[in-house]
Structure 1
Amino acid sequence: MAFQHSSAALSLRDGLALSADTAKQPERHIVIDLLRQAAPLLGLKAPVITTLDAMLSCLPPQRTHHTVFASNATLSFRRNGISDRTIRRHVALLMELGLLNRNDSPNRKRFMRTNAREGTALRFGFDLAPLFNRLSEIAHLAAEAVRDAEQIAYLKSRIRALASKQLAEHPEDPLPHAVLKTLRRKLTIKELEALLQTLDQAVIETQIDVLDEPQHTAETTDLADSNGQNVRHHHKSTKEHIDKKHPVSALSVNDIVVACSEVAEFSLRPIRTEGDVIAHARTMAPMVGIDATTYERAVSTLDPMRAALAVWIVVKFHERVRSAGAYFRAITSGARSEGFDPYSLIRRLCGTAAQAWA
């Protein structure tokens, strides 16, 4: 009977059952990637994340709970032999951060007892439900941490360029030496901005580009045919610009939710407006491996709504895509971007969903 129950057909299982190999639950490597990106804001260290990864590896692929029953010996083996004391310390930190609940049995063993008559179960172990419940919040923190890291890298590069320029012009000036020495430390954005104010920024002012400028090239006067490849490049940009201005969508937000119902289930609030569609896409993007830089490039190449729909489509077909980030780049700014029309695809998906319900 136990074997028959565990291998029952999907149509006979509880609708709330979660599966690691379906779109209803992010895969383990995605959860770990989000935690690694959000680690600076969550206060997590790499060893603790690795211990959490070992716990996630003990969860079965299809389950109705998130409780880990593995012993400390099993976790130690999967963590390459760390001590019980280290595991206990990591568990305590995860509990403090609200990512794990510890349900101990009277004898400190980890196991489950079921009551078939009442349909209930007692589970004693490490409950990772808080982690899965906070995935949306962690995704926001991951995106924020990536933006902070990019800003820090930009400020460091700018400060280093300014200091090097001043040092070349005034070798006897002690300020550039002190600034370059300070950059060796781990600095926050505020500290870097304060350090930037101490330097003469006029020396590289002409090197700073505004990233939005390429978008306006489509509005300039067309060049003559004799300019060769450049004119073909601008002609293509003009065509894309016209398509962005006049999208033939005829789609409602409800159509999007119906076509990608699995994606909408991840949202913590109802999807009612286009703003909700875009906001949910920004939350889901890092959860499937689409980094902030790639997403912003898609927004500038297409428009916010088309880029958001691309994320919804990638998440819906996540099982069929080997690399979500690479596929997203391909359909938004790569080889497949020419024939990619998210509105048409959503309309087809909506029609398929309607036939399924008929």
Structure 2
Amino acid sequence: MEYTPRTAFGRPASAVQTTQVAAPPRGLALDKWELLDTLTEARAAFGLTHRDLNVLRALIGFHAGREISADGAAPVVFASNRALCERLNGMPCSTMRRHLARLVEAGIVSRRDSPNGKRYARRAGGIVIRAFGFDLTPMLVLAPHIAEAAHRAREAAEALACLRETVSLMRRDLEALATGLRGADRERAELMLDEVRKLLRRRADAEALGAAREAMADLLPCGDPCEETPASTEEMSTSARRIEQHHQRSKKETSDEKRRTHREPVPRSAQRGERSAVEGAVRSDPEPCAGGTVGRQRPGQAEPKLSDLSALCTEARSFYPDGTRSWPDVSRTAEALAPMIGIQRDVLDEARAVMGRRHAEASVLCILQRHASIRNPGGYLRRLVSQARAGEYALSDLLRATRRAVPEPIVS
């Protein structure tokens, strides 16, 4: 029977955590890097800093495997202080130990001290049967609380960003209307504008931004500006010879599109041949495709084959050689590679919701394969999502374009 000590080696009993770590559910396994990213968003709720999380990243880096599991032996890291400091680019040992103590106090990890206080593992037949060091089980137990705290942190950050935008818009309106004020009102408005400018230069909290919003609301005119009728419309800011407004087309017409708008329709087979002639050119708009999610696919559209995707997307295998053996591997690989090529997490989540997980993740691997000819991968995927919403997306077209972009091997 394995015994769990109640005290820590060389430390008084008061220095040991009073709360006992509950056992995680059997069969629970979580990706350690995703859990660390979630904890990074929720760090304020646990009183952790970026340096604490850097030490935790180095600590879980010594844990074998990508997942932390509740099955089998406990996930205990028994790396030495010297190895941890080397992993942390030469951080002083005293600093590293202080951050480890903060992680233990926050309940993220727990100590499993050996009889002599050393960290080591006991093996039998090459398998670790018992280890002494830092136990990562509390991360599994706290995973639901970490996810909830991260969700609240994201909501608070979004609310703060909206409040900051509101204050900035009110400052702009007050600055434009201050010229029409007179006397004490104008002096008050100028003082307020000066304070708000200084406030927006730093990372102000919600309380300071809310106070600035209330103060500017007293100086701005009440009512909906859309209900006001201008007194005179005779004098305008523009004329036929001078256009001050900014005009920009969101979609640039290529020479092929211009020619297609001034000639008779051609058969679909001819259009495909014409499109293949310009396939290798650098373009910002994706090919027209159809189908992406259930209910938006054309009749006969099938799920992508894993073997075809693995054979086609060789660039993904250069980063993760074993990353395309199964669909869960493809999902993790696409999620890890998307930020590297400029695809934000919200864009990938939107693509999964609209196109389906497998279609979206396969599209990311195809975009990586053609990264040299795509100037804006994030915008490219957004365009594919828009086409999927309109029922104009097909992964088969994207796979064919990717296959044409792969150079053929040289046969001697």
Q: TM-score, normalised by structure 1?
A: 0.52
Alignment partner for residue 122 of structure 1, among 123, 130, 142?
130
Trace 1:59-138 onto structure 2 (pairs within 5 A). 59-61=63-65, 64-114=73-123, 121-138=129-146
Q: Give me the whole-angstrom Cα distance separating, in 2, the residues matched to 1:44 and 1:108.
A: 26
- 2:164 partner amino acid: K
What secondary structure does 1:105 align onto? coil
Residue 180 of structure 1 is matched in structure 2 by 197
- 2:162 partner amino acid: Y
Query: CA-atom RMSD, angstroms?
Result: 5.6
Residue 220 of structure 1 is matched in structure 2 by none
Q: Percent identity?
A: 24
Q: Give me the whole-angstrom Cα distance separating, in 2, the residues matched to 1:120 and 1:72.
A: 20
Q: Confirm or deny: 8 A CA contact 2:174 2:193 kept in the other structure.
A: yes
Residue 212 of structure 2 is matched in structure 1 by 195
Report the structure, 1 or 2, having the larger helix content: 1
Displacement of 1:126 after TM fit?
0.6
Alignment partner for residue 26 of structure 1, among 19, 31, 37?
31
What secondary structure does 1:81 align onto? coil
What secondary structure does 1:199 align onto? helix
* CA gap 1:120/1:51 in 2 versus in 1, 3 angstroms: closer
Displacement of 1:61 after TM fit?
2.1
Residue 238 of structure 1 is matched in structure 2 by none
Displacement of 1:313 after TM fit?
10
* CA gap 1:31/1:52 in 2 versus in 1, 3 angstroms: same
Task: Confirm or deny that 1:50 pairs with 2:29.
Answer: no
What secondary structure does 1:82 align onto? coil
Task: Confirm or deny that 1:35 pairs with 2:39.
Answer: yes
Residue 158 of structure 1 is matched in structure 2 by 166
Q: Give me the whole-angstrom Cα distance separating, in 2, the residues matched to 1:37 and 1:140.
A: 10
Displacement of 1:52 after TM fit?
0.6
Q: Give me the whole-angstrom Cα distance separating, in 2, the residues matched to 1:141 and 1:311.
A: 28
Residue 402 of structure 2 is matched in structure 1 by none
How many equivalent pairs are there? 263
What secondary structure does 2:131 align onto? strand
What secondary structure does 2:118 align onto? coil
- 1:161 partner amino acid: L
- 2:86 partner amino acid: F
- 1:82 partner amino acid: M
Q: Give me the whole-angstrom Cα distance separating, in 2, the residues matched to 1:190 and 1:310.
A: 44
* CA gap 1:327/1:25 in 2 versus in 1, 3 angstroms: farther
Trace 1:213-232 onto structure 2 (pairs within 5 A). none
Q: Confirm or deny: 8 A CA contact 2:347 2:381 kept in the other structure.
A: no
* CA gap 1:331/1:32 in 2 versus in 1, 3 angstroms: same
Q: Give me the whole-angstrom Cα distance separating, in 2, the residues matched to 1:128 and 1:160.
A: 44
Displacement of 1:187 after TM fit?
3.4
Q: Give me the whole-angstrom Cα distance separating, in 2, the residues matched to 1:337 and 1:125.
A: 52
Displacement of 1:62 after TM fit?
6.8
What secondary structure does 1:123 align onto? strand
Q: Give me the whole-angstrom Cα distance separating, in 2, the residues matched to 1:144 and 1:311.
A: 27
Per-residue CA distance 1:9-35 (angstroms, 9 max, x = gap): xxxxxxx899xxxxx54253x333323
Larger Rg: 2
* CA gap 1:246/1:122 in 2 versus in 1, 3 angstroms: closer
Residue 270 of structure 1 is matched in structure 2 by none
Give the number of the structure with larger relative contact order, counting CA–CA contacts within 8 Å between residues 6 or more apart. 1
Q: Which runs of 5+ in 2 are unaligned?
A: 1-25, 68-72, 179-185, 227-260, 262-291, 298-325, 330-334, 370-375, 395-412
Q: Give me the whole-angstrom Cα distance separating, in 1, the residues matched to 2:353 and 2:140.
A: 28
Q: TM-score, normalised by structure 2?
A: 0.46
Q: Confirm or deny: 8 A CA contact 2:110 2:138 kept in the other structure.
A: yes
- 1:182 partner amino acid: L
Q: Give me the whole-angstrom Cα distance separating, in 1, the residues matched to 2:347 and 2:225.
A: 26
- 2:214 partner amino acid: Q
Q: Which runs of 5+ in 1 are unaligned?
A: 1-15, 19-23, 207-227, 229-242, 249-259, 264-284, 342-358
Residue 253 of structure 1 is matched in structure 2 by none
What secondary structure does 1:108 align onto? coil
Displacement of 1:43 after TM fit?
2.3
Per-residue CA distance 1:32-55 (angstroms, 9 max, x = gap): 332322223332211111111111
